[in-house]
Structure 1
Amino acid sequence: MSCYIIAEIGVNHAGSVELAKKMIDAAKESGANAVKFQTFTAEKLVSKNTPKVKYQESTTDKDESHYQMIKSLEFSYEDHIPVFEYCKKSNIDFISTPYDIESACFLVSIGVEIFKTASADIVDLSLHKFIAQNAKVAIVSTGMATLGEIEAVVEIYRQYNCKLTLLHCVSNYPCATESLNLNVITTLRNAFFCDVGYSDHAVGALPAVASVALGASVVEKHFTLDKEMIGPDHKASSDPEEFAELVKAIRETEVALGSPIKAIQQEEMQMRKVSRKSLFLIKDVKCGEVIMPEMLTLKRPGTGIYESELSNIIGSLSTLDLFAGDMLKIGDFKLV
């Protein structure tokens, strides 16, 4: 199965439907399978005294509070509808991350089938229960979480038979290479026996490509039209050119990974015939003479008899006169 690639528009639309549509077009052109938004109201999500995290302090107005920042990035319920319809028209999947049950309920009401939950909400068990009961597909980010916290959420989705994908994630923007711990992808798959993907907050394409090599079935990366746009997430996002390169690298990796079946490739056949070694005679052999080890050597090409058959040949009788330099063939000898 091809890796499912999500362009995380998130709040990079800055509340503009027209900008959101432009981003959808660019994500589609870049090769994304889906675009993802965030559905919330500032009043339900943030208390007035919530501080900003470090990356938000460095990418937004320092005089603006966390609440004011979140309020400025709201996408109204009404604005979701034309964007959702535009995705259907553009043949790209619409995904959103609801931050509360009311937002999730709205998404269900307009026909959203794929839900993504934020890493921070791994502890919002009521939200997970609602999604598990109403979504066709749930994608759960696991940044900042312990295995025990993840297990509690996995059990909820299993209780309601909701298709689940866990995303390995490190919750920093951008994330340092030494913190990526991509081997956790294998840990999650072995621990919970479900699909596992990767939410990428690193710089460059290499970590996402490596995640696919480790078996990630979903890759999500933040997406922007311009890193210099105003907002907390633009600088840590991929622009359309970078995202297209990411998609290309993932698709080439999938081709390179190929099949787990060890098979001789067609393009190896000539090399196999030429560069392998066959049994050759290094002295003349009379008809009826016993073939001994000292009469034989190994030389290219590999179109004759391999050394693995030597035990069947030693002690056999030549069926005709043979000469030094001849490649030994089936029919040149018979068992005694």
Structure 2
Amino acid sequence: IKEAGADAVKLQTYTPDTITLNVKNEYFMVRHGTLWDGQYLYDLYKQAYTPWEWHPKLFEFAKELGLVCFSTPFDKSAVDFLEELETPCYKVASFEITDIPLIEYIASKGKPVIISTGIATLSDIELALKACKNAGNNQVILLKCVSEYPTPYEDANLRTIPNMRETFGVHVGLSDHTLGIEVPIAAVALGAVMVEKHFILDRSLGGPDAPFSLEPAEFKAMVQAIRNVEKALGSVSCELTEKQKEMRKFSRSLFAVEDIKAGEVLTEQKVKSVRPGYGLHPMYMRDIIGRRARVDIPKGTPIRWEFVE
């Protein structure tokens, strides 16, 4: 993932028992039009979780690679565990945005908090931000997110990104579950400061997130496109670059389009606005038409004031 251009890698820190109950009834079965319909939550999370004993090695290896490594905790014990690993920041998952006590505990650690909003109402976001503020933590980034797996393009609603920034006064990024790389690129153009995207070495390996995860070459293409967009966004400026100033030589200007003898009247048949830009500005066309040439002006000569009586 480092070679693919990522700045950071995020884990998830939970066990099936810290996120749900091992109960096989209708309340705990996934049946909401997802990739995982028919499975029980406990079984799904048992398949998907990252063993806690892997975390220290993953954090250490990421550090060696120059990657920021952090995680999403799903209960207070996970927060305590991540504190032991000196995690530099925390992520709050979309479905935990309603767990205000957990958010307050995370925020109390005084580290940046990244909050996904995949199932959030405006009041949910307000409560989560208030929880962070009450803990004395204003280091918050909201992630525009849609908790549909995969997310249809028409449900992404990326125009929400600048609105969230204006509404809540915080930085906003994107947690993306669409297929492909177009949506993250567009999000950056709309002001997203962070992009989260699922990553897999090979989708044929399978797994709960495989269908909407990017393989290394795809992730690399996304990162490169985002870096190009960041450069292209630049700043608000109407000033010309040095190259643009040089290219103005190819703009239109007034030229003699046939030989003109001294004393002849300048007409629109004899003087025209053409490329390149070495003659008078075309705005002066009306000022010179009807006046006489002071000197001989060969065809192809840029018109200058000193050539006109």
Name the TM tier (shorter chain).
Answer: 0.7 to 0.9
Write the mapping of 1:69-108 to structure 2, written as runs, cut at 5 A: 69-108=44-83
Q: 2:274 aligns with which of 299, 305, 310?
A: 299
- 2:22 matches 1:48: yes
> 2:75, 2:102 within 8 Å by CA — same for their partners in 1?
yes
* Cα pair distance change 1:217/1:315, threshold 3 Å: same
Q: 1:132 aligns with which of 86, 103, 107?
A: 107
- 2:3 matches 1:29: yes
Deviations 1:174-206 (A, max 9, x none): 111111111111221121222111111011111
Query: 5+ unaligned residues in a row in structure 2: which ranges?
Result: none
Write the mapping of 1:220-299 to structure 2, written as runs, cut at 5 A: 220-268=196-244, 271-274=247-250, 276-280=251-255, 284=261, 286=263, 296-299=271-274
**What's 1:115 paired with?**
90
Q: 1:189 aligns with which of 140, 144, 165?
A: 165
Moved more, 237-246 or 260-269: 260-269
Whole-angstrom CA distance in 2 between matches of 1:155 and 1:281? 72
Whole-angstrom CA distance in 1 between matches of 2:281 and 2:50? 70
RMSD value, Cα:
3.0
Q: Cα distance, 1:169 vs. partner?
A: 0.7
* Cα pair distance change 1:56/1:292, threshold 3 Å: closer
**What's 1:17 paired with?**
none
- Give the count of matched residue pairs: 300
Q: Cα distance, 1:52 vs. partner?
A: 2.2
Moved more, 153-162 or 125-134: 153-162
Q: Cα distance, 1:284 vs. partner?
A: 4.4
> 1:279, 1:296 within 8 Å by CA — same for their partners in 2?
yes
**What's 2:150 paired with?**
174
* Cα pair distance change 1:253/1:315, threshold 3 Å: closer
Aligned residue identity for 1:55: T
Aligned residue identity for 2:4: S
Whole-angstrom CA distance in 2 between matches of 1:236 and 1:327? 61
The 3-state SS of whatever aligns with 1:29 is coil
Deviations 1:98-128 (A, max 9, x none): 1112211221222101211111111111122
The 3-state SS of whatever aligns with 1:134 is coil
- 2:190 matches 1:211: no
The 3-state SS of whatever aligns with 1:82 is helix
Deviations 1:62-109 (A, max 9, x none): 5x6321332344434433112111111121110200111221122122
* Cα pair distance change 1:229/1:263, threshold 3 Å: same
Whole-angstrom CA distance in 2 between matches of 1:79 and 1:279? 74
Whole-angstrom CA distance in 1 between matches of 2:163 and 2:73? 27
Whole-angstrom CA distance in 2 between matches of 1:68 and 1:249? 37
* Cα pair distance change 1:284/1:162, threshold 3 Å: same
Whole-angstrom CA distance in 1 between matches of 2:210 and 2:30? 16
Q: Cα distance, 1:268 vs. partner?
A: 4.4
Q: 1:67 aligns with which of 42, 45, 56?
A: 42
Q: 2:295 aligns with which of 318, 321, 324?
A: 321
* Cα pair distance change 1:318/1:126, threshold 3 Å: farther
Same amino acid, percent of matched pairs: 34
